[in-house]
Structure 1
Amino acid sequence: MPTGHCLCGAVTFTVSGESLNVSLCHCPSCKRAAGAPMVAWAMFERGAVDFTGAPLAAYASSEGVRRGFCGRCGTAVSYEADFMEGLIDLTVASFDDPAALPPTMHIFTRHREPWMTGTDTLEAFEDLPPQ
């Protein structure tokens, strides 16, 4: 069963079952919440996710939307919305093996940063660049 945790390890979770989809979200709300140009989300049936450890803190980012995060380290962990009843999105990067959840789609691409395309052509370093 896939497992995951926040940066400090206080919030932990286990998922039973397969993801329904894995998306790269470019919406302004996700980008601001993560401080990132996009967020990778894996969607599951809510009943398939078991949170353990510290309880999630929550922020209502818009009407009917709850974003779960670690109250200790601030890691974004979940997204639940009234319009997605019975479903929950979990941040792919919070899984212990994020490589097991490759994206299947981009969403809200009208908000994609124009410099996000073609980033594979940038100079790349396996670690920090030389000083």
Structure 2
Amino acid sequence: MPFQPLPDDQPSCTVECPACGHRGLVYEQQLGLLGPCPVCGAARPRYMGSVAPGSGRQVSFGRFRDLLDEPRLLSLIEEALGLCPLDAECFADAQGREVPLEDIHYALQGNAGWQGQVYNLHMNRAR
């Protein structure tokens, strides 16, 4: 039976593919169930640790994606990560290379200060 998270669960563990370096968030319960890398299909991603441990302010990838029309989130992505928006869900680095949205979410969730800002944006919208 495939893994099914509980409604209140949020991904909190980071993994990295040893072949291509792609990073992503998974649920803690998935650590022993991980399949191949979603980007390159190579070896199973390895556990890198938890995201901003103890903050209690994680925002799921789906909820993060819902915030992409928020100008303050776009400003945070530009200022904190140096990325420029290309369109609704695409961003590029200074060399013009596209950066996966999952990597942006990972980077913001991996820093407690940035994570708090994303969480506040989410909570302001939820209220």
> Do both share a fold (TM > 0.5)?
no
Question: Which structure is richer in relative contact order (CA contacts within 8 A, separation 6 or more)?
Answer: 1
Q: TM-score, normalised by structure 1?
A: 0.27
Higher strand proportion (structure 1 or 2): 1
Structure with greater helix share of residues? 2
- Under a length normalisation based on structure 2, what TM-score does the superposition of the two structures give? 0.27
